[in-house]
Every structure is written in structure tokens, then in C-alpha cells.
Amino acid sequence: MQNWLYLYDRSFPVVLKDYLGEQEITITGCEIPISPSLEGRRDIRIPDLLVSRNSGRSLLIEMNGSAIDAQGKPPEFVLEVASPTTGRNDYTVKRSDYERYGVQEYWRFDSSGGSYHDAALAGYRLVNRRYEPIPIQWLDDNCSRGYSDALGLYLCCDDGELRWYNPTTGNYLQTYEKEVTRANRAEARAARAETRANRAEAELRRLRRQLADREPDN
């Protein structure tokens, strides 16, 4: 349920893939199994969101997951969304596993503000094979953020919502829902403008006819 609310419903895997580019060699997806080796299906984690660049999509499909030995590298980024049942594991056991796998960055998001995790937003970056906390900045009482080197974005917990801020453009990544809303509004504005133009043109024709009717015959 948490994944649907905070990832699927907002199309974040697709939005991130569009932002990152290199569609053929960039993998972004939810609940993709990851393991040092998928043979035997042991020692597996299934993160809520995974980003792996310079990776083989066909190999991912063939292995039914991201096998680090087959891909030749671990993913750059994984994210876990807190839930009442998995919260504690996210910042204990899973953190240790992702560190052991060599995942460059591990992030945690808790929409409850820290009731399920120990924080609303937390991130770790691999330094000399060990995770070090990524600094989290509080913009106000309800908004915190941390910078992901792996993505070039700020992850933000904004009043219980997960958002992605691009410091290069100064804008948040827009979900497709918002893009559709924006496009619909633009289309409606264009339609209203066309209606006003048609009315103005009709009024101009009426005035010209009226003026012509008033002119005396020679």
C-alpha cells in the first residue's frame, strides 16, 4: 500500500528514468529483487525503489532481478518506504545488507514523520565500504531534504510527501498527473483565448456592417 501511495501513484520510477536519460541502460523500478547472485535465490532484498545505471535491461529480465555478479556492479540507489510491518527492518537489517551489497546510496522515507522508521527521511552513502549518514537539512518544521550524489537530486520529505528537487533547474520533478493537469489547463486557456478572438472578430464584422449601412449612397 505504501508503494502505491508514494511511488506508483505518482509514476516516480518513470519520472526518474526520464530525468536520468540513457533509457536503454538505466533501470528504475519498484520491487526489483537484488542480490550478489540470483542463482539459488538466496540472500535477496527487494527494495521499494531501485536505480541502476549502465545496466543491462535484457539481463535483468533474464535473471528476474538485479544480480550484482551478472551486471558487474551493484545499483547506485535504493529506497525503502516505511510501513508498520517493515519499518524497523528498513533501518537495521536491510541497511546492513545494502551496505554489504555495495549499493552506493541507501535512502529511507517515512511519511508518518518517523513513527515507523527512526526519522522521516534518512540517507547513507558508501565510503570505504561502510555507510556514512548523508546530512539532512530541515527547511521548516514540516520539510526536510538530503542530497543524492547518485541522482543529482534532493530527496525531500515535504509534509509527509516524497518529492524530488532538481537544484540545476530550481524545480521539483513533476509527476505525470501534474503534467496532465498542467497540459489540460493550458489547453483550456488556449480554448478560451480562441473563443475570445472569435467573438472579437465577429464583433468587428458586425461593426463594419453597421458602419456600411449608415454610409449614404452616392
pLDDT at 162 over 90: yes
Give the mean pLDDT of the chain: 84
The 10 Å Cβ neighbour count of residue 213 is: 7
Local structure of 78: helix, strand or coil: strand
Which pLDDT band holds residue 163 (cuts at 50, 70, 90)? very high
Same domain (yes/no): 184, 168: no
Which pLDDT band holds residue 7 (cuts at 50, 70, 90)? low
Domain assignment of residue 191, given as a range: 175-218
Same domain (yes/no): 197, 118: no
Same domain (yes/no): 31, 102: yes
How many whole angstroms separate alpha carbon 210 and alpha carbon 202? 12
How many whole angstroms separate alpha carbon 22 and alpha carbon 41? 29
Q: What angle do CA 194, 195, 201 make, to 5 degrees?
A: 90
Q: What is the pLDDT of residues 122-149, one digit of tens each?
A: 999 999 999 999 999 999 999 999 999 9
Q: What is the pLDDT of residues 76-116, one digit of tens each?
A: 999 999 888 776 777 789 999 999 999 999 999 998 888 88
CATH number of the domain that residue 122 is part of: 3.90.1570
Same domain (yes/no): 34, 122: yes
Which pLDDT band holds residue 11 (cuts at 50, 70, 90)? confident
Q: What is the pLDDT of residues 35-81, one digit of tens each?
A: 999 887 789 999 999 999 999 889 998 989 999 999 999 999 999 99
Same domain (yes/no): 41, 81: yes
Same domain (yes/no): 195, 169: no
Same domain (yes/no): 94, 54: yes
Whole-model pTM: value is: 0.76
Residue 112: predicted pLDDT: 83
What is the count of structural domains for the chain? Answer: 2
Same domain (yes/no): 189, 165: no
Same domain (yes/no): 218, 164: no
DSSP element (H, E) containing 19: helix 12-20
Q: Which residue has the cell 535484457?
A: 58
Residue 187: predicted pLDDT: 55
Same domain (yes/no): 182, 149: no
Q: 13: closest CA among 211, 173, 189, 207?
A: 173
Q: What is the pLDDT of residues 173-199, one digit of tens each?
A: 987 555 444 444 445 455 566 677 777
Same domain (yes/no): 165, 184: no
Local structure of 47: helix, strand or coil: coil
Same domain (yes/no): 129, 191: no
